[in-house]
Chain A
Amino acid sequence: MSATIVAREITADHIAAEQQQLARTWAQPRGLIGFLSDVDPKRIGMRFIVTALVFFALGGVLAGLMRIQLAVPENHFLGPDLYNQVFTMHGTTMMFLFAVPVMEGLGLYFTPLMVGARTMALPRLAAFGYWMFLAGGIFLYVSFFLNIGPDNGWFSYVPLAGPEFAPGKRADTWAQLITFTEVASLVGAIVTIVTVFKFRRPGMTLDRLPVFVWAQLVTSFMIIFAMPAVMVASTALILDRLVGTHFFNQAQGGDPILFQHLFWFFGHPEVYLIFLPAQGLMSTLIQAFSSRPVVGYVGLVVALVATAFMAFGLWVHHMFAVGLPAIGTSFFTAASMMIAIPSGIQIFSWIATIWSGRVRLEPPMLFALGYFVIFILGGMTGLMVASVPLDLQVHDTYFVVAHLHYVLIGGAVFPLFGALYYWFPKFTGRMPGRGLGVASFWLLFAGFNLTFFPMHVLGLHGMPRRVYTYLPDMGWNTLNLAASSGAVLMALAVIVMIVNVIQSLRSGAVAPDNPWHASTLEWATSSPPPPYNFYPEPVIDSRDPLWNDPADLPIVIGVRADRREVLITRLLDAQPDHRYHSPDPSIWPFVTALTTTAMLIGSIFTPWAVVWGSIPPAIALIAWFWPRPSMLNDETHPPENARPELSAATGPP
């Protein structure tokens, strides 16, 4: 340790006094204004998770409507116009309002806890991101109920979504929703990167970072590189529609294929924005329930980084049927198949961990094992659709619907539910019910396979995607009915989960700090954690501090408790660097989000909304960044750039 280590006596009384002071300093502000001003990463993360789960339920209801419509041929339950809105809303909701935000919420909640920090970096920015996400989601659903919900698919290809073939406001709604989610994702990514780089507890060098935090870090960088492409695509689309530009109008020298390139340059990495955090969750669950450090840590991290790089080289495999030159498409076949290598590294490492560990089949572990079955099948069909000739047959059929749900539900939703179950005691202080947990797993597992496995066969037998009905003599009736009945089981599984949550909240056993005997730092504090996360804060001495670290490690001292102060460490070696006064709660992120929302929605109706509408957010931002007296150092305390100390003395355990 290059930091100064001083010997100092710390008594139990001192710790109790300090904890009280910290609780006052970091307390959640009261009242409605306080609620809207909150900057606690745990509550912002939890708001992301709960809101995203509500959208998951809405997206699920839409899926249910589609399965009712398709249960029998020539059904009149939904007409073509409504069906096309419903499938567009389902895809848009699940991708933009559920999968990405829920992973972001877990990241905001657990990244600071797992790196041992009191809070996250830029908490007001994170709060702003949440309000933008919420506003975008409400905007989309209000539009849907006003019959201006998008109906051109979650990909919104031109010219179908262009000014000529999509009159009205439906396509604008889609394009502007993208803006909301872009903003929310980008600020989340920046917050995560800064937190991981600068807020780690002393001793938590990069090679001791939990795999889940690595996954969040890699995902955040992917967001920064992928989002600009869809930003260009949706902005150019809305300009074509609203102010008469011709980016995608082939009659005026534009090109509809340009839209597809831009969209998929984002759209393929988007899949990995969902999948990589879930891989991090898998490593977390496998490690905890195999009771041993995950095998091949370095390989797992390298696999995450490799997947992120490769994800940007695959986008054309969504466009094989466009008729691009053969040599180019073969390259993308090779690149798409290559991504099986990092996925393989992770799967084999987890199997090795289970093999050499002591396995406990708690419900989170069941969900993790469900991942293997479903995701591996999805990976295999992924190899098939990576092959140009085979993809030309199955592209845009139910085979791909099956494939993508195996990959995304198996690869992301199963680990997610496992993780929510795993972290439930940390969130709530109550243990989740085991019996209902097991029941919901089996219902979901059986329902999922009954719903989506027949779709492989339907696709091979010629059923295209995005059809609102089909003729009775196509030979698709039985399999569609099977798929629809599977959807009933999936709905039951979700209901059982909700019942379990309610029951556990009301009468679950009180959770100890570390009920699963896991190794990472979020389990080193109470359940649920106090607003300041940790006190005292011993330095980190290994990758699995709760399993390996001795009890007499130095602790961090000298970080003020009477204001929101955090310790900043250096990027590579996590040595203490300086103290930082973290921003206090503020209403201005909420006001900024509100005024930005007004501008964005107004811009659908008139371009002048961009001009006049940018004034209120500018005012809100000035208020947001107005210097506070507390930002200046006072003389009774050492200046912020004075390096904090580590104390060799430890408090009582």
Chain B
Amino acid sequence: MHSVLSAAGVEAQSIQSHWWLMFWVTLVVTLVVLGGLGLAVARGLRAGAIGRSDRGLVTGISLAIAVTVVILFGLLIDSVITSRVLASQRAPGALEIEIMAQQWWWSVEYQHPEPEQRVRTANELHIPVGRPVSIKLLANDVIHSFWVPALNGKLDAIPGHESTLWIRAEHPGVYRGQCAEYCGAQHAHMAIVVVAESPEEFEKWIQAQRQTAHQPASDPERRGLQLVQQSACVMCHTIRGTAAGGRMGPDLTHLASRSTIGAGILPRTPDHLEEWIRDPQRIKPGNRMPALALPDRDRAAIVAYLEQLR
């Protein structure tokens, strides 16, 4: 689910093959050299006289170096071939996603020629299996690095720079990723979830994401919406279709469609959501969300509202 050695994407699979080649070659080399050392020590321990001439030994060293050079050249060729495979995955017709990495979460935007068709979400992306996806990586504070091991190697998101990572999932599944470049206090809790699904399911998902926020149906939910709109929540979060339009924090329009909160720190359940809103600083010290002093009843209403944002 998050291992280099259980590759589920085209790119990661070719790197995995390269890994196994290197693994076996270096394993054999290590065993041969250490075996040679063992023989040498055994011989040296028994030796009566000391060899005085270096000539035969120097020839042996030269031969070993020649073999080393051949092996290195082979590994180098495989490395370059793998790099070319990775570079050849760029294709027209790719799904375009832009990710803005920031301390300590990921803002995700699905690109579309028509601005109102763009979808914004956070810390979780869905991609269709078999279709190339280009991820444009940006950062607005410090350097981060986007890395989903099962799909591809990592790429840095650097302020003032723009870089593009290509992925293509081969199998449906949920793949976890995490920021790989040290980015401050909560570097440890900056995860991202990639859900690879069939093109039909993906289409269903993105259509749902394009909708504005679900309207509250029950009283507590309505009260929750009212509280959200009256409180500081709106300063940082967007819930499309409501007065909440802040851009500092994750877009919450379809929060209840996501599996985690706090950039992967907790599974999204009503209890965890309640706990998070009560004191985000206890769960993820240093993150940008302050604790709001709310009566328990109000917090429960907000959770009820957020939980129906499918």
Let me know if B34 is at the binding interface, CB within 8 A: yes
Residues of B within 8 A of A465 (CB): 180, 182
User: Across the interface, do B160 and A250 meet the contact criterion of CB distance under 8 Å?
Assistant: yes
Let me know if A515 is at the binding interface, CB within 8 A: no
User: Across the interface, do A372 and B37 meet the contact criterion of CB distance under 8 Å?
Assistant: yes
Given known A-B contacts A341-B69, A372-B34, A380 and B26 have beta carbons under 8 A apart = yes
- Of A341, A354, A383, the contact of B37 (CB 8 Å cutoff): A354
Residues of A within 8 A of B286 (CB): 80-81
User: Across the interface, do B57 and A296 meet the contact criterion of CB distance under 8 Å?
Assistant: yes
- Of A160, A345, A393, the contact of B65 (CB 8 Å cutoff): A345
User: Across the interface, do B2 and A390 meet the contact criterion of CB distance under 8 Å?
Assistant: no
Residues of A within 8 A of B240 (CB): none
User: Across the interface, do B34 and A393 meet the contact criterion of CB distance under 8 Å?
Assistant: no
Given known A-B contacts A330-B80, A337-B75, A348-B65, A462 and B178 have beta carbons under 8 A apart = yes
Report the tally of A-B residue pairs with Cβ distances under 8 A: 243
Let me know if A16 is at the binding interface, CB within 8 A: no
List B137-153 residues whose CB lies under 8 Å from chain A: 141-143, 145, 147, 149, 152-153
Let me know if A388 is at the binding interface, CB within 8 A: yes
User: Across the interface, do B61 and A321 meet the contact criterion of CB distance under 8 Å?
Assistant: no
- Of B41, B58, B178, the contact of A354 (CB 8 Å cutoff): B41
Residues of B within 8 A of A386 (CB): 79
List B167-193 residues whose CB lies under 8 Å from chain A: 176, 178-188
User: Across the interface, do B75 and A165 meet the contact criterion of CB distance under 8 Å?
Assistant: no
User: Across the interface, do A467 and B37 meet the contact criterion of CB distance under 8 Å?
Assistant: no
Residues of A within 8 A of B45 (CB): 359, 361
Given known A-B contacts A321-B180, A351-B36, A354-B37, A387 and B18 have beta carbons under 8 A apart = yes
Let me know if B72 is at the binding interface, CB within 8 A: yes
User: Across the interface, do A326 and B57 meet the contact criterion of CB distance under 8 Å?
Assistant: no
Q: How far is the CB of A234 from chain B (nearest CB, A)?
A: 18
User: Across the interface, do B188 and A470 meet the contact criterion of CB distance under 8 Å?
Assistant: yes
User: Across the interface, do B83 and A326 meet the contact criterion of CB distance under 8 Å?
Assistant: yes
Q: A164 to B184, alpha carbons, bound, how many Å?
A: 13
Q: A157 to B179, alpha carbons, bound, how many Å?
A: 15
Encode contact with A along B23-55: 1 for CB under 8 Å, 0 otherwise: 000110110011011011101110111111010
User: Across the interface, do B154 and A352 meet the contact criterion of CB distance under 8 Å?
Assistant: no
Given known A-B contacts A337-B76, A376-B30, A397 and B180 have beta carbons under 8 A apart = yes
Interface centre among A255, A296, A389 (most CB of B within 10 A): A389
List B69-95 residues whose CB lies under 8 Å from chain A: 69, 72, 75-76, 78-80, 82-83, 86-87
Residue of B nearest to A399 (CB): B4
Encode contact with B along A371-413: 1 for CB under 8 Å, 0 otherwise: 0110011001101101111111111110000000000000000
User: Across the interface, do A299 and B58 meet the contact criterion of CB distance under 8 Å?
Assistant: yes
User: Across the interface, do A81 and B5 meet the contact criterion of CB distance under 8 Å?
Assistant: no
Interface centre among A257, A295, A470 (most CB of B within 10 A): A295
Q: How far is the CB of A533 from chain B (nearest CB, A)?
A: 29
- Of A250, A296, A390, the contact of B58 (CB 8 Å cutoff): A296
User: Across the interface, do A355 and B50 meet the contact criterion of CB distance under 8 Å?
Assistant: no
- Of A164, A292, A337, the contact of B51 (CB 8 Å cutoff): A292
User: Across the interface, do B147 and A387 meet the contact criterion of CB distance under 8 Å?
Assistant: no
User: Across the interface, do A256 and B159 meet the contact criterion of CB distance under 8 Å?
Assistant: yes
Q: A157 to B142, alpha carbons, bound, how many Å?
A: 9
Residues of A within 8 A of B153 (CB): 321, 389, 391-393, 395
Task: Give chain A's interface residue range (CB within 8 Å of chain B).
Answer: 35 or more
List A426-461 residues whose CB lies under 8 Å from chain B: 460-461
Q: How far is the CB of B281 from chain A (nearest CB, A)?
A: 11
Given known A-B contacts A333-B79, A355-B40, A359-B47, A390 and B158 have beta carbons under 8 A apart = no
Residues of A within 8 A of B290 (CB): none
Residue of B nearest to A372 (CB): B37
Residues of A within 8 A of B187 (CB): 464, 466-468
Q: How far is the CB of B29 from chain A (nearest CB, A)?
A: 7
User: Across the interface, do B34 and A80 meet the contact criterion of CB distance under 8 Å?
Assistant: no
Q: How far is the CB of A388 from chain B (nearest CB, A)?
A: 5
Q: How far is the CB of B64 from chain A (nearest CB, A)?
A: 5
Let me know if B15 is at the binding interface, CB within 8 A: yes
Residues of A within 8 A of B43 (CB): 354-355
Encode contact with A along B3-33: 1 for CB under 8 Å, 0 otherwise: 1110000001011001100100011011001
- Of B44, B54, B265, the contact of A295 (CB 8 Å cutoff): B54
Residues of A within 8 A of B57 (CB): 295-296, 352, 355-356
Let me know if A369 is at the binding interface, CB within 8 A: yes
Let me know if B285 is at the binding interface, CB within 8 A: yes
Residues of B within 8 A of A329 (CB): 83
Interface CB pairs A-B, < 8 A, 22: A80-B188, A164-B141, A256-B159, A321-B145, A322-B163, A341-B65, A345-B61, A347-B33, A348-B64, A348-B65, A354-B37, A354-B40, A359-B41, A377-B30, A380-B27, A387-B75, A389-B18, A390-B22, A393-B4, A460-B3, A462-B4, A465-B182
Besides A389-B18, A464-B147, 15 more A-B contacts (Cβ < 8 Å) are A81-B286, A157-B181, A165-B141, A296-B61, A326-B87, A337-B72, A341-B69, A345-B61, A351-B40, A352-B58, A352-B61, A356-B44, A358-B44, A384-B26, A392-B155
